[in-house]
Chain A
């Protein structure tokens, strides 16, 4: 597929062409991702419509690579229905060829919040809160130092258990 990528890199230098190509890709990407995530959730269009408070016809209309009348409100509704976050971002044209090459079902699927491996592997908010409060207490109520400690712990060494990683007073070399 690198022939597509190489040709596209040259073609995207043309202003009119790049706008036409990228806007068409955006529409195709959104429509396809909606369909892919809906199928990943085992939902029919009518199920998604119910979650969004709209009609199956409306879902069918947006699951179309030629639909272009997107608005943020609808996209947010979709994100809530799929239990994922919506990210809207401006990008350079140079990143487009790689996105085009990677386009496929696997790359479009997204885990729901409750199945998100990035959330499951990290310390939960309850434990995090407990650890932070315990650290602040160990530092004599200095929550600023406790924040820095928490950042270092999360970046460098994941907590193994709630108590094992909370240093005793005076035992921390925070940077």
Chain B
């Protein structure tokens, strides 16, 4: 079974993860590693690849672990509409010195927005 991936969108309908990739100026190498982990999540699901996701680190929020040149930790949640067949990427985050640059409560808030308005997400785009 292939899992569906969605990106939370900003108020002007842009993928929040695409914007994050752009504003953080991620290297092509890091984007390759990020896409690999996301492909694995889609193809194999959350449990087959060991320690692909960490969490929940806060309420419904998991973080994807990407050990690249920078420690990418995008936040995501299962569902939240179809709990057994989709994940939604909610917020980009980076870890440095064991600290995340964003608080997962922001991602939880984005999750609530998606539940209230499913239009606040779009099918995941590759970066």
Contacts and interface: CB of A to CB of B under 8 A. Distances in A.
A-B interaction: yes
Interface of A: 1, 4, 7-8, 11, 14, 16-25, 28, 31-32, 35-36, 63-66, 68, 100-101, 103-105
B48 A105 contact: yes
B31 interface: yes
B36 A16 contact: no
A62 B68 CA distance: 18
B51 interface: yes
A14 B68 CA distance: 17
Interface stretch (B22-30, B77-85, B98-106): B22-30
B110 to A, nearest CB: 25
Interface residues of B, number: 26
B67 A104 contact: no
A14 B48 contact: no
Contact of B48 (A17, A23, A24, A104): A104
B50 A20 contact: no
Interface of B: 2, 27-33, 35-37, 39-40, 42-44, 48-52, 65-68, 126
B36 A21 contact: yes
DSSP class of A's interface residues: helix, strand, loop or mixed? Answer: helix
The 7 A-B residue pairs whose C-beta atoms are closest, nearest first, are A20-B32, A21-B32, A20-B29, A16-B28, A24-B36, A17-B32, A24-B33
B3 to A, nearest CB: 11
11 contacts: A1-B42, A17-B29, A19-B32, A20-B28, A20-B33, A22-B32, A24-B36, A28-B49, A64-B50, A65-B51, A105-B48
B43 A100 contact: yes
Given A21-B33, A104-B43, A35 B126 contact: no
Given A35-B50, A66-B51, A104 B44 contact: yes
Contact of A24 (B32, B42, B50, B51): B32
